[in-house]
Amino acid sequence: MKKIRAAILISGRGSNMKALVEAARDPDYPIEIVLVVSNREDAAGLDHAKHRNIPTLAVENRRYCDRESHENAIHTALVARDVDLICLAGYMRILTPGFVDKWPGRILNIHPSLLPKYPGLNTHQRALDAGDKKHGCTVHIVTGDLDAGPAVLQKKVAVLDNDNAKSLAARVLEIEHRLYVRALAMVANDMVLQGDGRELRQ
């Protein structure tokens, strides 16, 4: 089976990355994770990827003089690995339009809200403050505008009367893992159908 080659970008804990890595161990999953990149070398998620023998790379932003040179270093590593698709999974840097334009329609992100509600940070507290009865998460295509690209899949959870930001975040995180695995498979299957992976185009 031809697989789409994906890289995952993280900054910390990496629980979504872990979910994708575990899903990709299934021979029938249409994705091969070929690289995990972190902008912090102490990101906990890197250890799990190493444990699964996935190549990892720390490209620490603090070692670069500007955003562009940091992104260029990441871009070079992705191209060297023949990456077809980039998955942001708790990657806490905003990508510049210059980087995004090099990967049109090929960057996915998971965001902990029902976009277009609550782009940016503190989504769970904002949902509680607004008195929302439903909250959730969205996998979307990354464009040059923050958390504003087209949604691939979205999943709701009920907000409970006794929820606080922590309990709500924990429930949303559980469904994030499943949603990202499904959304990535959908996008990858579509790319296979279109003959849109680098390997498939050769």
Residue closer to ligand GRF by CB (options 4, 138) is: 138
Least separation in angstroms between CB 166 and ligand GRF: 12
Residue closer to ligand GRF by CB (options 105, 119) is: 119
Residues lying near ligand GRF in the complex (CB under 6 A) are found at: 10, 12-17, 89-90, 110-112, 137, 173, 176
Q: Which residues are catalytic?
A: 111
Residue closer to ligand GRF by CB (options 36, 197) is: 36
Q: Which of 166, 169, 108, 162 is nearest to 135 (CA)?
A: 169
Least separation in angstroms between CB 178 and ligand GRF: 13
Euclidean distance between CA atoms 49 and 6, whole angstroms: 13
**Which residues does 189 contact at the CB level (< 8 Å), separation at least 6?**
30
Least separation in angstroms between CB 202 and ligand GRF: 33
In whole angstroms, how far apart are CA 6 and each of 3, 17, 21, 108? 9, 11, 10, 10
CB-based closest residue to ligand GRF: 90
Helices (H) and strands (E) in the chain, counts: 7, 7
